[in-house]
Amino acid sequence: MGSQGTVWLLSSAGRRVELLKLLRETSGDQEPSVVAVDYSADVPTRISSDFFRQIPRIDNPRFLASVIKICQEFSVDYVIPTIDTELSIYSGSRELLLEAGTDVLVSLPTVVDLARDKLAFANWLGKNGFPHIPTWPLDRDQLISEEGPFFIKPRFGSASVGARRVDRLEEIIGHSFQDEMVTQPYLDGAEFTIDFAVAQGGTLAGISVRERLKVRAGEVVCAATRDRPDLEALVFDLVARLPGLYGVLNLQLIETPTQALILELNARVGGGFPLSAAAGCNLFETFLEGHSAGLRRPRFDIQMLRYDASYFVPQT
């Protein structure tokens, strides 16, 4: 891109217009630009990006080669993965992209695999002494012996797809699940997501706690930043104990009357991250600044109220 500023590539860009605009505002010495890629051209980021390229689906063998070609075409500095299913591809190919001058903000394969597997991550939390929600494989006999209600969800998956509350065993007798499922006790409590950035060498570069006030179909629609040093401490401990973290990630928790319990680790940027950035904690800027800026934190009690928006364009 010659003398232009930082070039970001937003992968599987889809409807992530807020994130795309945020990347364009992420400051450097010069004006940044954003390349959006998606397997479909019927996405709003096609309109809002500086450059758009339609690429094969993630399960297509040509997916990675297409991304590498686009990175070379636009001299991309950073790739931002946005969905779980592409993390393994990028994580396993990070060195290849680095050789071409492009950094992918993604953790090592060991971290990506652990984060995607809800059962394995819960077991890891238990072995390392973290407060966490008990998680076990879906076992109908256990649902009889344990006291409900329960929450069942796919062992691998995101965006609450397939997740549901189960009050009685009879609700799932005879039900055939498409995916491998896990079971957790159903808990009521305040839900939190902690956005955090980990730089090269495992250094925590920024952290922002946001409370999920309203959620729709697994996506936060109302949230607020919070001053919670006790929850931040869990992330400090996680970063210290889990080698291979890199990029912008988020940790999900639920707070019961007695303690906060870790639910999941997402090894990618979360959908509600624009709130953290709007509150002064743009974690992507930490990768441009290096370690000189110190630990970035947000302003507290800043609320986000999300809404749907549309583009109206001639059909192509």
Residue 179: its pLDDT value, please? 76
- What is the pLDDT at residue 174? 57
What local confidence, expressed as pLDDT, does residue 292 receive? 58
CATH code for residues 7-105: 3.40.50.20
pLDDT of residue 315: 85
Q: What is the pLDDT of residues 172-211, one digit of tens each?
A: 765 667 678 898 999 999 999 999 999 999 999 999 999 9
Residue, of 290 and 232, whose pLDDT is higher? 232
Q: What is the pLDDT of residues 257-278, one digit of tens each?
A: 999 999 999 999 999 999 999 9
Q: What is the pTM of this model?
A: 0.93
Superfamily of domain 111-130+188-305: ATP-grasp fold, B domain (3.30.470.20)
- The whole-number average pLDDT for the span 284-289 is 90
Lowest mean pLDDT among 129-138, 168-177, 199-208, 218-227: 168-177
pLDDT at 208: 98
Work out the mean pLDDT of the chain and round it to a whole number.
Answer: 91
Report pLDDT for 1.
Answer: 43
Residue 2: pLDDT band (50, 70, 90) is: very low
22-67: pLDDT as tens digits: 999 897 667 899 999 999 999 999 999 999 999 999 999 999 999 9
User: pLDDT at residue 168 above 80?
Assistant: no
pLDDT tier, 295 (very low <50, low <70, confident <90, very high otherwise): very high
Kindly indicate the confidence band of residue 248, based on its pLDDT and cuts at 50, 70 and 90: very high
Per domain, the residue ranges of the chain are: 7-105, 111-130+188-305, 136-185
284-300: average pLDDT: 84
Q: What is the 3-state secondary structure (H, E, C) of the chain?
A: CCCCCCEEEECCCCCCHHHHHHHHHCCCCCCCEEEEEECCCCCCHHHHCCEEEECCCCCCCCHHHHHHHHHHHHCCCEEECCCHHHHHHHHHCHHHHHHCCCEECCCCHHHHHHHHCHHHHHHHHHHCCCCECCCEECCHHHHHHCCCCEEEEECCCCCCCCCEEECCHHHCCCCCCCCCEEEEECCCCEEEEEEEEECCCCCEEEEEEEEEEEEECCEEEEEEEECCHHHHHHHHHHHHHCCCCCEEEEEEEEECCCCEEEEEEECCCCCCHHHHHHCCCCCCHHHHHCCCCCCECCCCCCEEECCCCCCCCCCC
Predicted confidence (pLDDT) at residue 117 exceeds the cutoff of 90: yes
